[in-house]
């Protein structure tokens, strides 16, 4: 699902099945932990990637709403006339942050906030967020996985989108596969598109360092292919055990991408199913690295292409 108005370029080695699943999928969140890059460095990196050969996988630049003005100054210092899509993360002051987004979008700049992200713990929170929506800005509301369905139902009723957190910088911040599967099932059942965030730096589940510190603790993290394919499987009506099994799949040899879709352990998802998954369910995932998800994809996507 390409961002409207952006040319879709693809590495010839990556088959169409993978491109259907992964076009414009990575929302670059380099300002956030564990990368926590300086603003100027994050802007320079995005500027390089949005003009590079792998831009077909690049989605929005994610930043706190409170840093929009500083971002504008940093963006003005880098070359390129592509209008960047931004996702602004709302902090403690919903009113002030949404006002900042609205003001930013009225000015002639080389970027536009077309999405915002905000947390909700109750239906009352959802209603308050809906009352502060910004015209033309998609609203992704993060909900606790364990109580997702009623909140996702309320979010959908207000014409907003969901958001699920898949990890963090500590082992106890990573949810179990049953909780993630339940969130995916709830979103598919309600019919609400959503994004995921945190921990999805790698294509497949495995034991990885939780931060980039040399001696950082390790944890069992989900991969972005796990979550995307589990969502496609849920949409296709696969049993819950298969959805959960996809979430914990660690073997690249279990997947074969080709021009018409992907096969996982003999089960098939065609490009139509993958396109619909991106359009109607899992829109994107946030990652504090862009190169890591892209560079680790190629040997998996091209293994049997």
**Would you state the pLDDT for residue 96?**
98
**Would you state the pLDDT for residue 12?**
56
With a cut of 90, say whether residue 120 has pLDDT above it.
Answer: yes
With a cut of 50, say whether residue 276 has pLDDT above it.
Answer: yes
User: Mean pLDDT, to the nearest integer, of 224-240?
Assistant: 97
**Would you state the pLDDT for residue 303?**
76
**Would you state the pLDDT for residue 6?**
37
**Would you state the pLDDT for residue 211?**
84
**Would you state the pLDDT for residue 140?**
98
Look at 159 and 109; give whichever has higher pLDDT.
159
CA 203, 207, 209, 214 dihedral sign is negative
Q: What angle (nearest 5°) sits at the alpha carbon of residue 195, between those of residues 230 and 228?
A: 20
**Would you state the pLDDT for residue 210?**
86
Contact 119, 89 (CB under 8 A): no
Question: What residues are paired with 142 via a beta bridge?
Answer: 119, 163
Please, which pLDDT band fits residue 21 given cuts at 50, 70 and 90? very high
**Would you state the pLDDT for residue 298?**
87
Could you tell me the pTM of the whole model?
0.93
In CATH, the architecture of 16-301 is Alpha-Beta Barrel (3.20)
CB atoms within 10 A of CB 268: 12
Query: What is the rounded average pLDDT for all residues in the chain?
Result: 93
With a cut of 60, say whether residue 115 has pLDDT above it.
Answer: yes
84-93, 126-135, 207-216, 259-268: the lowest-pLDDT one: 207-216
User: What is the C-alpha to C-alpha distance for residues 278 and 48, in angstroms, rounded to an integer?
Assistant: 25
**Would you state the pLDDT for residue 245?**
97
**Would you state the pLDDT for residue 11?**
54
């Amino acid at each position: 699902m390409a961002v409207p108005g952006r040319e879709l370029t693809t590495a010839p080695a990556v088959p169409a099945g993978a491109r259907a699943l992964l076009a414009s999928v990575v929302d670059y969140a380099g300002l956030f932990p564990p990368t926590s890059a300086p603003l100027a460095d994050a802007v320079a990196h995005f500027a390089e990637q949005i003009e590079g050969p792998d831009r077909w996988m690049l989605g929005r630049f994610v930043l706190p709403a409170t840093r929009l003005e500083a971002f504008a100054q940093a963006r003005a210092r880098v070359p390129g006339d592509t209008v960047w899509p931004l996702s602004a993360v709302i902090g403690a002051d919903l009113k002030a942050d949404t006002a900042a987004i609205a003001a930013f979008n009225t000015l002639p700049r080389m970027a536009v906030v077309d999405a915002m992200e905000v947390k909700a713990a109750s239906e009352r929170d959802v209603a308050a967020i809906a009352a502060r929506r910004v015209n033309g800005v998609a609203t992704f509301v993060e909900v606790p996985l364990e109580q997702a369905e009623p909140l996702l139902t309320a979010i959908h009723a207000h014409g907003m989108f969901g958001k699920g957190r898949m990890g963090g910088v500590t082992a106890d911040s990573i949810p179990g596969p049953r909780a993630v599967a339940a969130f995916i099932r709830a979103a598919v059942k309600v019919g609400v598109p959503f994004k995921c965030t945190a921990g999805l730096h790698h294509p497949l589940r495995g034991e990885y360092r939780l931060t980039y510190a040399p001696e950082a603790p390790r944890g069992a993290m989900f991969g972005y292919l796990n979550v995307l394919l589990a969502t496609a499987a849920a949409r296709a009506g696969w049993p819950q055990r298969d959805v959960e099994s996809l979430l914990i799949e660690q073997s690249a040899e279990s997947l074969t991408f080709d021009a018409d879709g992907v096969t996982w352990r003999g089960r098939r998802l065609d490009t139509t199913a993958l396109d619909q998954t991106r359009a109607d369910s899992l829109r994107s995932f946030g990652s504090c690295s862009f190169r890591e998800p892209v560079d680790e994809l190629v040997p998996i996507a091209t293994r049997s292409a």
